[in-house]
Amino acid sequence: MIAAVVLPLMAALGIAAAGQRSPNIREAVTLFAAACLIAVVWVFLPEIMNGQSPRLQLAEMVPGIALAFRLEPLGLIFAMLASLLWLINSIYSIGYMRANREPRQTQFYISFAIALSATMGIAFADNLLTLFLFYEILTLSTYPLVSHKGDKNTIASARVYLGILLFTSIGLFLPAIIWTYQTAGTITFAENGVLAGHLSGVELGILLGLFVLGIGKAAVMPVHRWLPAAMVAPTPVSALLHAVAVVKAGVFSITKIVVYIFGLDQLANNDAATFFLSLAAFTIVVGSIIALRQTNLKRLLAYSTIAQLSYIVMAALILHPIAGVGAALHMVAHGFGKISLFFAAGAIYTASKKTELHQLKGIGRRMPWTMTAFTIGALSMIGLPPTGGFVSKWYVLGGALAAENLVAVTAIILSTLLNAAYFLPILHAAWLQEADAPETENHGEAPLPIVLATVTTAALTIAFFFYQGPVLDLASQMMGISASE
């Protein structure tokens, strides 16, 4: 377990040592570490499937509260997803950073590795404080990535990014943790929650609010502003933010807190859960509507992410086991789908420097591989078979229906329509329309590593439709139901 956290850190050191002197060695270190990380994380799979839950205590931060890790199903899903995507993302980064001749690449890979280390810490955290520690490290380590370009505009956006995430975490998340500790006497994750019998009614609702809004990384409105702002980052970073680490860390934290701190039963009788469910539903619909109005491809994807994240938050707050499984599945499905979309957007930028929607007419013929991947990603976002997005939506919808939650059902149906409304025109333009003006410069596909990574994630998106395998088992195990139900 400790290896999972330390390995990326070692990689960061190795990358720093290799430095600018030899980019090849530097990138080899990154890839090697990413591959090792996958091995280290996936080795735990059989153990967890057998229902074990190894725990490891490192130090005592404050007497009584340890810096400790514990493996449990949801965390393992998250860690497996992140480690797998780190490898693919690294391959992509190499192509992207070289093709675009980005400056400060060593710093880029170092920050990336530290961010991954923090992600592993979040995934394995045994208590809220450990989670919070790595949550903050993740915020800080991604700041240099977001501000990578270094011009005035970028710095201003990166400041919004850092500002919102730090202010919500220190201003809301931390007090919520301390409050939990004061009332329940513990902040260690436990089955069925730790708050039973300590808090109820309005207080419980306020605490839930502090958590849901304090975890700004989940981008529930109104704390979503940082996500579009962070779009100034290079594309591999956007992919990291949206699919691998940052937003996933947010929704992962919320899901984990709802399940292991509050406990589903505890929240079931509380109006606040309904309120925040409605807020998430609101975010889904409004985020989709805003996405509809975007003219820049990456900003469109950003608002799409905001909407998709709230799916997971909403699924967790439906408080039904099947919806909980849906939340875990959607974390993975959205990860694969969104990373394909971002990879494709970055490939288009690398090959042609195009960033706006109206420039995309006829691009499908020039970049067939990239646009195929984009199409698969888009289908997954809409939730059409044969993509992973269909499976997860199926479970969320099933949970919502089983819980007879009309708000959630309406939001899911509405957003499916809206998703189709903003993705289909792009697909139409890319595949079926002719380019407006003759191209000044001929371009084909992006460099090989980029295409390779993009196609891989798209393939994963489809594969996830046919085989959810361990993810489904783990998620079911977390919710205490058997996979066949």
The site for another protein (CB under 8 A) is made up of 58-63, 67, 129, 132-133, 136-137, 140, 144, 147, 150, 155, 159, 162, 166-167, 170-171, 174-175, 178-179, 181-182
Smallest distance from another protein to CB 135, Å: 9
Compute the least distance from the CB of residue 15 to another protein, in Å.
14
Task: Indicate the residue among 118 and 301 with the shorter CB distance to another protein.
Answer: 118
Compute the least distance from the CB of residue 59 to another protein, in Å.
5
Q: Report the nearest approach of another protein to the CB of residue 140 (Å).
A: 8
Least Å distance between CB 63 and another protein? 6
User: Which residue lies nearer to another protein by CB, 201 or 480?
Assistant: 201
Minimal distance in Å, beta carbon 174 to another protein? 8
CB of 136 to another protein, least distance (A): 5
**Measuring CA to CA, which residue among 401, 450, 391, 431 is closest to residue 239?**
450
What span, in angstroms and rounded, lies between the C-alpha atoms of 119 and 9? 12
Element at 66 (helix H, strand E): strand 65-70
Quick one: 59 or 437, whose CB is closer to another protein? 59
| Residue 215 · residue 223 · CB < 8 Å | no
Task: Report the residue number, 167 or 467, with the smaller CB distance to another protein.
Answer: 167
The shares of helix, strand and coil residues in the chain, as percent rounded to the nearest 5, are 75, 5, 20
Half-sphere exposure (Cβ direction) of 231: Cα atoms closer than 13 Å: 19
- Asked if 277 and 408 count as a contact pair (C-beta separation under 8 A), the reply is yes
Element containing residue 57 per DSSP (H, E): strand 55-62
396 strand-pairing partners? none
Shortest distance in whole angstroms from residue 287 CB to another protein: 27
CB of 111 to another protein, least distance (A): 12
What is the C-alpha separation between 475 and 74, in angstroms, rounded?
Answer: 6
**Dist. CA 182–CA 62, nearest whole Å:** 14
- Note whether 345 and 378 are within 8 A (CB): no
User: Of the two residues 149 and 443, which places its CB atom closer to another protein in the complex?
Assistant: 149
What is the spatial distance between Cα 370 and Cα 345, in angstroms, rounded to a whole number? 9
Nearer to another protein, 106 or 296 (CB): 106
How far is residue 444's CA from residue 253's CA, in Å, rounded to a whole number?
41
Would you put residue 141 in left (φ > 0), alpha (ψ -120 to 50) or beta?
alpha
- Closer CB to another protein, residue 172 or residue 426? 172
Nearest to another protein of 170, 406 (CB atom) = 170
Q: Which two structure tokens, joined as six digits, stand for 52?
A: 């074990």
CB 374 within 8 A of CB 341: yes
Between CA 423 and CA 304 the distance in angstroms is 10
Whichever of 42 and 179 has its CB closer to another protein, that residue is 179
Q: What is the largest CA-CA distance in the chain?
A: 70
Least distance to another protein from the beta carbon of 273, Å? 24
Token duo for residue 410: 């309406």
Closest to another protein by CB, 215 vs 412, is: 215
DSSP string, 350-385: HHH---BGGGGTTHHHHSHHHHHHHHHHHHHHHT-T
